[in-house]
Structure 1
Amino acid sequence: MEKRLSDAAMEGNIATLKELLLEDPLLLDRAIVSCVSETPLHISSMLGHLGFVKELLSLKPELASEFDSHGSSPLHLASAKGYTEIVKELLLVDPELCMVRNQEGRTPLHVAAVKGRVKVVSELVRVNAESTRVLTDRAETVLHLCVGHNRLEGLKVLVEAIGKDDELVNLKDCDGNTILHIAVSKKQIETIKFLLDKTCVDVDALNTNGSSALDILIQSPRDLRDMEIDELLRGAGALSAKDTHPIVHEWAPTKVPWINKSLTSTLTMKESGSERPAVKHQHTDWLGRKRSALMVVASLIATVAFQAGLTPPGGVWQDDLTVDVNGNPVKDPHIAGTAVMAYTDTIEYGQFMIFNTIAFLASLSIILLLVSGLPIKRRRWMWIQMAILWIAITAQVVTYFISLRHMSPRKVQGTLREVTSISVLTWLVLISVVFIGNIIRMNLWVLRKYGYIKEKEVAVPNAEIDDDQEEVEKKKKKREMEKRLSDAAMEGNIATLKELLLEDPLLLDRAIVSCVSETPLHISSMLGHLGFVKELLSLKPELASEFDSHGSSPLHLASAKGYTEIVKELLLVDPELCMVRNQEGRTPLHVAAVKGRVKVVSELVRVNAESTRVLTDRAETVLHLCVGHNRLEGLKVLVEAIGKDDELVNLKDCDGNTILHIAVSKKQIETIKFLLDKTCVDVDALNTNGSSALDILIQSPRDLRDMEIDELLRGAGALSAKDTHPIVHEWAPTKVPWINKSLTSTLTMKESGSERPAVKHQHTDWLGRKRSALMVVASLIATVAFQAGLTPPGGVWQDDLTVDVNGNPVKDPHIAGTAVMAYTDTIEYGQFMIFNTIAFLASLSIILLLVSGLPIKRRRWMWIQMAILWIAITAQVVTYFISLRHMSPRKVQGTLREVTSISVLTWLVLISVVFIGNIIRMNLWVLRKYGYIKEKEVAVPNAEIDDDQEEV
């Protein structure tokens, strides 16, 4: 019965299953309790029998939670094979299966990511986003696995799913490497571009050896890709470890974190004893960024406080007054150059001096500590400096209101009190929120540190390991089977293959789902065992679509070795394999052309002519590769195949060179003759340096071939660039077109991991740059608003006027040092105070939030701070026009009204455009997030580098 059930599962025969269940209704239950760990659901899930899987799940859904001898659930196997529909069915039964780790410590998501099953990855993340936070035994995230196995498309799907989760993106494996370290070590240019462009990856993170990503590049063997990677990293602000001087904390490899939304919970494993306490992951550059922010804000506060000390509110006396006209001592004498405020309100001036001095010295203390060179780069020191900054900012706020109070006469004191009350209340609330938030964080940290609070434990089912002798024998037998299969592939021994399949009919399927990326078909294709290849393809044709760790299919390997018959067999299975690019950005046709495999080139072009139009990562066509590697015979075959395709022949690489430029630079006389004679190559095309083919020849070192090449070029009508005077357009090296007959179509790859949606180019580290921009702008607004508060438009009175020359009270008295505007236009002065205070406090609120240390680094918080900044800027604009209106006499009021009207209209239009634009962006983001709008996919070939040792 068990044999018949197993055969039915292998065939996907539902009728046989039903017959067996009629004979024994408990058959599926017996399959669960039997010693055979592989259930019928494992077999049918691995072989892709969707109908059979559905039938089993409807009859016995608990089969989905069974594990084989490797600790794999049926979901692991279906995920590894890329059977998306089966994955969906299994997830309907139990979404928590996403979290289960097999014997190798991998979840279904890990397995799918390693195998490049993009659609499966997308489905698993959609159903259970928490699965992205499970780590392997080496503390690798699923992002590490994607980068490590060069699965860029899977990485894109995952990054989109997790959003701007800085901590997950910057998590380190057991060697302390982030995903950027790995991408740089493997020199994956497109992955590096994506990480720098689309994520908040920490470019200066250090691994356990104290090396940053830039250090990894510097220490690696040199090749042609290094220059571009170096430019990318330095362009993103990457530094060497010796330049950043961070404190490298010892990393304990036994501590593997379990990640949840707060990245602080632990993973409780089953009896396998793999309990792993959480590790606190931080941004390596957190301290650096905080230091920069503190330096900027402290410098501005010190500048403003110093200026306020030199020019106090109310100004200074312009003359000496100690005696009256009769020579008698006056009641209130004063000396020129002394502060008016010190005479008119001694107590208030004392308060002004105290708080302004506190702001000045506190900010200078921060600057001194930051530039002292003392070892104060730990977080606790940074918190102390931030506390000092809060004191400085608060002191500056108090100074601002003391100044306003002093310069406001009695008749506007009511308005001032209202403005002050609301402002103080707002400021106290903000300070309280920041203070309480940090107190809570500190208390939680202390309680966790000393064990009073334990991390929430999440029980994640793991594969149970049976350590009895039978299980040990099974593992040993499995390793022996894998070794025998590998040996058979290396020898091309079909008889051994058949024997192995008799012992285990699912052996080839296991080879596909295993984590070993090199299948028997890769080995036999590389070694030229045609009979073995045919046998494998007849038994398991999907092996042809598997990729090794370098992203190469068996067709890449056979093409490189020149095994034409094997190439034909592989193309019979799937002609679209011609279009698949490997990790180096090359198709099988590119590989064959570089190696000079003329027959293979001819066969590949015959089966799929469109393969001639795929570009490398350096925007090279297959024609560029032929000329660059001096493969004239292959070039002839290709030119004959493409016919008179002027556009393809004249296409330029990333340096703007056509194939004629390259042929001339390498002085390949026969190739030049062929191109001029048999193609429509443009003899006057210019590269990015503005050089034609003739210029290349003139600029090259002289030898005996130059005269003949010169005659050939001039005979074809070639001119120097200075004689043609073309307009040289700027060339964008990041935009590499995908070429078809019209040079505009896109390439749609299979789910094998070669889907390449268009890359949206954004600023690297969006949040970091926004924070820096907000900090600078907010600091400047605060500075300007503070200065405006101390020196209001219209200035201050320079003298007292309370009585006339006869000693009678005057109609409009004023006091020296008070604002002129407050007397001449009380309402306008009130408006000035309100809007200037809004600008001042709004900008200070942004600064306080940015340096508060609270976890407010997500986009939504950034948008809130940007909205506050809009309020601050708008308030400052209103303050500006109030000032202009006050200081403009009647005869220019007409001009002022025109200026104001146009300015306000322009400002409202600008604000409306920004507001509506962000509303549209938010709506589109929501619609995309919930699947109402799908991203348009455009295949963009990636930048390619030839690291062939011969070429280097």
Structure 2
Amino acid sequence: MANNVSPLEEAAVSGDIDRLYALIQEDPDILNDVDAKPFANTPLHIAAFVDLKEHPNQELIRYLSFANEIMLLKPSFALKLNPQGFSPLHLAIQNSHSKLALCLVDMNKELVRVKGREGTTPLHLASQIGDCDLLEHFLWVCPGSIEDVNSRNETALHIAVRNQQFDSLRVLVGWLKSNTRMGAGRLEFSILNKRDMAGNTILHLSVINHDMKSLDLLINNPYMICLNWMNSEKKTVLDEAAGSADMVRKLSKAGARPGSSLEDDPTERPAYGLISKSRHGYLYAALNIIRRIRGDISDTQRDGYFVAAALILTAVYQSALSPPGGLYQADGSNLNSTSSLNSAAGKSVLSNNNFTFLSIINMAALVWAAISFVMLIPAGKMNAMLIAPTFYFGFSYIYSLALISPPGAHDEGFKLKNAGQLAFLLFIVISGIIIPYVPGISPFPSIKKYILRPLLKMFRRSKNASNI
């Protein structure tokens, strides 16, 4: 930039704000002329090229002030790529100008997601050079940047593993684990198992690069890392680790399998989930109906339906506390008496037939209100905490009916009604236990994933350990 340097470039190299405004006074369109070019070295690009390492603190502040001024005058400059395909933030990171990079991001957090040459984002660059402070700040101000991929379909985690930047990988994995935003679990699983254009996950890359530290970090998270996914060459991580005895031992202990053993195993194929669901038509059709109903309900409608369902449940339960006609009262003057009045205390004054008819109507209302309440509960971590108590609420209601049932009800019809209530009670108790674990309704993906698979892995590990 020493030859044919324009006055605007000179102002950027020196960080001279006064010179900048003097040029604007001479030519008000000077910045617009630069902005009109699709690819250009803007004053922000030039400021990012300046070597700030040897400058005293006062001069560093001057350059940061100049960058802020340009950002205020022309925010689009921060988004523009130069002819080499880099934004000012890319250049600031490449030249280790971390303070300028932080300054730019604080002005516009979306700069973290600007894609430059080969689709590389500033987060990718920070991961590549191992600047953990920048990584942490970028993820804090722009969490969505963790999902960005370059032209090779690589995330920042792929970049970290491929360049053997273990500290970068630790920061990225740590952020995914500590993330508590909505959908954090799905995001963590998706990012940790993301495939690049060659079909390699970060676990594949750690094995290919013989990066033992990265491998240990990843396989210590067995519930989120898929050990047996195959890349484009039909190789699992265990196949890629064939040349390293230590890696083979660790992967085998974790439950990894060779690709040859998976070819005839339909459960390991990506399409198996769809195939298996089509084989269980009635169950999954019912679950899909529930999912679609939930998806079609807006937040406003859900709030209204919740209020209606809660009012119905409250009114139904109130009938057990205060049935029509009231309850027999105990004779306070003779509490020790065994009279029929005292033995009937707390029982409904209704006849057996009337009480049975009222119970059937109320139980029908309770069932439909409870089902509606369950279907309205959106999928998420609070799902099981709300579904199970809803069914146990039914248990409480039926038990209350049994306590206030009219005295002397020993006829066969009333016994039949009691048997029906008992059967319904058993259904409620079992449903309250099972439904929170049904895939698609509960927040847990399935019993298979969180109970059966870990038990199977423990069995395989113990078996492998005994064979070694």
Instruction: Report the TM-score when normalising by structure 2.
Output: 0.58
- CA gap of 1:33–1:22, structure 2 versus 1, over 3 A, is same
- CA gap of 1:217–1:155, structure 2 versus 1, over 3 A, is same
- 2:307 matched to which residue of 1? none
- 2:22 matched to which residue of 1? 22
- CA gap of 1:817–1:122, structure 2 versus 1, over 3 A, is same
Matches within 5 A, 1:54-453: 54-59=65-70, 60-62=73-75, 63-159=77-173, 160-161=175-176, 163-164=184-185, 165=187, 166-198=189-221, 200-218=224-242, 221-222=243-244, 226-227=245-246, 229-245=247-263, 285=268, 378-389=272-283, 415=359, 418-419=362-363, 421-423=365-367, 425-427=369-371
- 2:462 matched to which residue of 1? none
Deviations 1:15-65 (A, max 9, x none): 5x6346536644656666789943442232243445314214314434323
Deviations 1:48-94 (A, max 9, x none): 44531421431443432332221101110112344333123222444
- CA gap of 1:432–1:41, structure 2 versus 1, over 3 A, is closer
Distance 1:433 1:190 in 2: 42
Distance 1:122 1:842 in 2: 42
Distance 1:392 1:107 in 2: 43
- CA gap of 1:431–1:89, structure 2 versus 1, over 3 A, is closer
- CA gap of 1:39–1:818, structure 2 versus 1, over 3 A, is same
Distance 1:236 1:414 in 2: 59
Q: Is the 8 A contact 2:11 2:20 kept in 1?
A: no
Of 832, 835, 843 in structure 1, the residue corresponding to residue 433 of structure 2 is 843
Distance 1:205 1:120 in 2: 32
Paired residue type of 1:126: W
Distance 1:392 1:18 in 2: 70
Paired residue type of 1:207: N
Distance 1:42 1:93 in 2: 16
Deviations 1:590-642 (A, max 9, x none): xxxxxxxxxxxxxxxxxxxxxxxxxxxxxxxxxxxxxxxxxxxxxxxxxxxxx
Deviations 1:897-927 (A, max 9, x none): xxxxxxxxxxxxxxxxxxxxxxxxxxxxxxx
Distance 1:53 1:115 in 2: 22
Distance 2:122 2:279 in 1: 46
- CA gap of 1:189–1:422, structure 2 versus 1, over 3 A, is farther
Q: Using the TM superposition, give the Cα deviation of residue 176 of structure 1 relative to its aligned residue in structure 2, in angstroms.
A: 0.8
SS at match of 1:2: coil
Distance 1:95 1:37 in 2: 22
Q: Is the 8 A contact 2:193 2:202 kept in 1?
A: yes
Paired residue type of 2:194: L
Percentage of pairs with the same residue? 19
SS at match of 1:204: coil
Matches within 5 A, 1:658-673: none
Paired residue type of 1:234: S
Distance 1:240 1:148 in 2: 23
Matches within 5 A, 1:669-680: none
Distance 2:283 2:39 in 1: 67
- 1:38 matched to which residue of 2? 41
Q: Is the 8 A contact 1:98 1:108 kept in 2?
A: yes
- CA gap of 1:416–1:86, structure 2 versus 1, over 3 A, is same
Distance 2:38 2:418 in 1: 93
Distance 1:391 1:814 in 2: 43
Distance 1:814 1:23 in 2: 103
Q: Using the TM superposition, give the Cα deviation of residue 107 of structure 1 relative to its aligned residue in structure 2, in angstroms.
A: 1.3
Q: Using the TM superposition, give the Cα deviation of residue 173 of structure 1 relative to its aligned residue in structure 2, in angstroms.
A: 0.8
Q: Is the 8 A contact 2:235 2:259 kept in 1?
A: yes
Distance 2:252 2:275 in 1: 29
Distance 2:281 2:153 in 1: 36
- For the pair 1:2 / 2:25, whether they are aligned, the reply is no
Q: Using the TM superposition, give the Cα deviation of residue 233 of structure 1 relative to its aligned residue in structure 2, in angstroms.
A: 2.9
Q: Is the 8 A contact 1:57 1:64 kept in 2?
A: no
Q: Is the 8 A contact 1:50 1:85 kept in 2?
A: no
- CA gap of 1:74–1:418, structure 2 versus 1, over 3 A, is same
Deviations 1:563-607 (A, max 9, x none): xxxxxxxxxxxxxxxxxxxxxxxxxxxxxxxxxxxxxxxxxxxxx
Distance 1:102 1:141 in 2: 14
Q: Is the 8 A contact 2:356 2:414 kept in 1?
A: no
Instruction: Report the TM-score when normalising by structure 1.
Output: 0.30
- CA gap of 1:158–1:51, structure 2 versus 1, over 3 A, is farther
Deviations 1:129-165 (A, max 9, x none): 2322222111112221112112233233333156421
Paired residue type of 2:370: T
Distance 1:53 1:72 in 2: 19
Q: Is the 8 A contact 1:83 1:120 kept in 2?
A: no
- CA gap of 1:29–1:818, structure 2 versus 1, over 3 A, is closer
Q: Is the 8 A contact 2:15 2:47 kept in 1?
A: no
If you compute each CA radius of gyration, which structure gives the higher value, 1 or 2? 1
* Length, aligned pairs only: 334
SS at match of 2:117: coil
SS at match of 1:104: helix
Distance 2:9 2:203 in 1: 45
- 1:571 matched to which residue of 2? none
Q: Is the 8 A contact 1:412 1:822 kept in 2?
A: no
Paired residue type of 1:846: P
Paired residue type of 1:381: I
Distance 2:38 2:412 in 1: 100
Paired residue type of 2:200: N
Q: Is the 8 A contact 1:75 1:108 kept in 2?
A: yes
Identify the structure with the greater helix proportion. 2
Matches within 5 A, 1:780-799: none
Matches within 5 A, 1:791-940: 813=410, 836-848=426-438, 850=439, 852=440, 861-862=443-444
Distance 2:260 2:356 in 1: 59
Q: Using the TM superposition, give the Cα deviation of residue 247 of structure 1 relative to its aligned residue in structure 2, in angstroms.
A: 8.0
- CA gap of 1:18–1:428, structure 2 versus 1, over 3 A, is closer
Deviations 1:157-214 (A, max 9, x none): 3331564212232221111111111112223233223323347122221111111222
